[in-house]
Amino acid sequence: MSMDGPIYQRLMDGYDENDYDQNGISGERLAFRLNEIAKIGLTNDKGSNRPGFSEEELAVKSLVSEWMEEAGLEVNRDGAGNIIGRLSGSDPSLPTIMSGSHVDSIPNGGHFDGPLGVLLALEVVEAWKAIGYHPRKSYEVIIFSDEEGARFNGGLLGSQGMTGDYDIEELKKLISIDDLSFEEVLKSVGLSVESYEKSLRDFSNVEIFVEVHIEQGKRLEKLDLPCGIVNGIAGPYWLEVNFTGKAGHAGNTPMDDRTDALVAASEFITKVSKLPRSINDTSVATIGKMEISPNGVNVIPGEVKLFVDIRDIFKESRNQLVDTVILEAENIAKEHQVSLSYTKKMNNPPVPIKENVQLLLEDVLQEHGITPVRIPSGAGHDAMIIGKQTDIAMIFVKSIEGISHNPSEWSTLNDCVQTAHVLKGFIEKLNEK
């Protein structure tokens, strides 16, 4: 295997081959493959630039498809560009188990977000081939198209195509960042609107989809654990909130004769940061965008528009937090004698992960000497879309300093390979059921 490339040597440095190269799993093979993918779309900052439905994404799909075929999988591409590598089980009457992720990236992203989940799913097949294990249930390794959404400022188009979770007329209206229509972008990689619509899959014979992903947070690092169990994927609820007072001259308007929209908004921002913990420990609320009008140094702000991103893995508590945020806004507006309006901009339901699935993963982690910990996913994933059609499981891998969507994104090979063993063990336990 070649040692050239942006990340191979760093992955291999400090890898405990004697501890983790067992039961057919190879750390060096995983490091080599992560490195080969990292070469495609490599940026000047040593990051990844592989937008969805790009030549770079297509090149990685082609490369991984070759590895799938070498491992003995039957490989197909559906009408949304998703790659499906299938290993038929010994009992065709049993449901299929799916695992995978994506290989596209944001501009100048990292090398683990997406590709790691694909390669660990494939590593399970490689391990089975090495030890002569054949599953009772059919197993599929999936590469979803355009998870990150860099072309259309959206995302999840591959999994949405597979599940039918889209409005085709709205998709036809999309214009990419390079000023191409949805149809033109698909055509550039040998697809079409017609093929996209035909990518719909019947999930009645799919038992579960398992996605491995870097944590995008610091909990595992703080606990010094290689991987953990995702207990749910948060559903985002976006509110646009407007406080309207009266603009005026900053020098001529007395302090006791002002209706300052920004003062009211500032108190609201402070209160919102404290509200989630009054609900539970899995909900979050963020105000990351704000517009001030007239936005002059010497003008009292007459209007403030801000956006509240509210998330939780539980729908009831998420909605309770939404109601609490609105009530707080109303009270603050009344106290400061400014008017208030608010509009719902997004309402995606949380996707729960079944308790029996989490308990089975706990058993596998304990068998591998890893203390089980459950972690909510605040970000969206393909599993969130697939979870509307069938059961899902997610495993998080420790990410150093919680960095993601950045060239500095990093997970050690020791942690990645330990997670490969967990994924393999989990899928084998599902085959025993």
Largest CA distance in the chain: 84
With vertex at residue 34, the alpha carbon angle to CA 381 and CA 2, rounded to the nearest 5 degrees, is: 170
Helix axes 115-131, 27-38, angle to 10 degrees: 140
Known binding residue 102? Answer is: yes
Q: How far apart are CA 142 and CA 81, in angstroms?
A: 11
Spacing of C-alpha 67 from chain mean position: 24
Taking only Cα atoms into account, the Rg of the chain, rounded to an integer number of angstroms, comes to 24
Complete DSSP assignment for 9-66: HHHHTT--HHHH--TT--HHHHHHHHHHHHTTTB-TTS-B---TTSHHHHHHHHHHHH
Known binding residue 281? Answer is: no
Q: How far apart are CA 353 and CA 351, in angstroms?
A: 7
Identity of the amino acid at 19? D
Known binding residue 113? Answer is: yes
* Bridge partner list, 212: 395
Known binding residue 78? Answer is: no
Q: How far apart are CA 181 and CA 51, in angstroms?
A: 15
Contact 405, 109 (CB under 8 A): yes
- Beta carbons within 8 Å of 186's beta carbon, 6+ residues apart: 53, 81, 192, 193, 195, 196
* Bridge partner list, 341: 242
What 3-state class would DSSP assign to 233? strand
- Beta carbons within 8 Å of 335's beta carbon, 6+ residues apart: 264
- Beta carbons within 8 Å of 202's beta carbon, 6+ residues apart: none
Instruction: List the structure tokens of 292.
Output: 């001030």
Known binding residue 134? Answer is: no
Q: How far apart are CA 47 and CA 106, in angstroms?
A: 10
Which residue ranges are tagged as binding site? 102, 113, 148, 213, 405
Which residue ranges are tagged as binding site for Zn(2+)? 102, 113, 148, 213, 405
